[in-house]
A = this chain, B = another copy of it.
Amino acid sequence: MEKIKIALVEDSKLLLARLAEGFSLYDSFKVVGKYSNGKSIINSLEKSNHENMPDIILMDIEMPKKNGIEATLEIKEKYPDIDIMMLTVFEDDVKIFASIQAGASGYMLKDEPFESILNAVHELYNGGAPISQSIARKVLSLIKSNLDEDKNNSSIHPELVLSERELELLNGLVNGGSYTTIANDLFLSPHTVKTHIKNIYKKLHVHTRAAAVRAWLGKL
């Protein structure tokens, strides 16, 4: 029986090594490529022959050079037969939805046990669309609400849109400001700043400043 050929795209060397190690323990898989960003796998695919062309790509969403969503878009356009499963640490509505639109077939959280990822890859290879249990509900409701109201413009769920004011606050966060400094910049009470930031966190589905900055700077 043919081995399932896997390519890994993941900027964390640690996780990349762990995944490669994990798959190497199973006879049914063969890791045909390891990459740390979207650019490098795209370059590599262009030089690949049938022998080392992956069946399935495990793709990190957040990466330098070219992020997972951009890479997925490009790869699915040129190699529609490759199935792509996104790996992420975030349960970010926008990214989940963008990944699906970009052509990803699966969506797993990085902190799932390796066995779950393994199962997901099998499922994917057999035509399934594996999704981490914890985000399945979210995706369903996203798709549903997106079908329901096609009258809106941006294909992004309205609840996720940050208001103008919130963007200004977020900018303050990105600039590394504290409640107090942001408050001074915007002529607001620190309490207000805090309220806005709490709301931003809810919309971006993060719980810390660092994650908010990351979510924002790494956005589409």
* Cα–Cα distance between A208 and B210 once the two chains are bound (Å): 9
| Interfacial residues of chain A within 169-195, with CB under 8 A of chain B in the complex | 171, 173-176, 178, 185-186
Which residues of chain B come closer than 8 Å to A176, judged between CB atoms? 89-90, 206-208, 210-211, 214
* Cα–Cα distance between A206 and B177 once the two chains are bound (Å): 11
Residue of A62, A175, A178 most packed against chain B (CB within 10 A): A175
* Cα–Cα distance between A59 and B85 once the two chains are bound (Å): 40
Which residues of chain B come closer than 8 Å to A11, judged between CB atoms? 171
Judge if A28 is at the interface, Cβ distance under 8 Å.
no
Judge if A212 is at the interface, Cβ distance under 8 Å.
yes
Contact among B90, B206, B207, B217 for A218, CB-based, below 8 A: B217
Q: A176-B206, A176-B211 are in contact. Are A14 and B89 (CB under 8 A)?
A: no
Contact with B along A143-187 (1 / 0, CB 8 A): 000000000000000000000000010010111101000000110
Q: A176-B208, A209-B208, A210-B174 are in contact. Are A13 and B218 (CB under 8 A)?
A: no
Contact among B13, B90, B168, B210 for A210, CB-based, below 8 A: B210
Contact among B89, B168, B174, B210 for A209, CB-based, below 8 A: B210
Nearest-CB distance from A86 to chain B (Å)?
Answer: 15
Q: A209-B208, A209-B209 are in contact. Are A214 and B14 (CB under 8 A)?
A: no
* Cα–Cα distance between A89 and B176 once the two chains are bound (Å): 9
Determine the residue in chain B with the shortest Cβ distance to A173.
B210
Judge if A213 is at the interface, Cβ distance under 8 Å.
yes
Judge if A12 is at the interface, Cβ distance under 8 Å.
yes
* Cα–Cα distance between A25 and B213 once the two chains are bound (Å): 35
Nearest-CB distance from A201 to chain B (Å)?
Answer: 11
Nearest-CB distance from A219 to chain B (Å)?
Answer: 9
Residue of A90, A174, A186, A211 most packed against chain B (CB within 10 A): A174
B217 touches A168 (CB 8 A): no
User: What are 5 A-B interface contacts by the 8 Å CB criterion?
Assistant: A62-B175, A175-B211, A178-B208, A209-B209, A213-B214
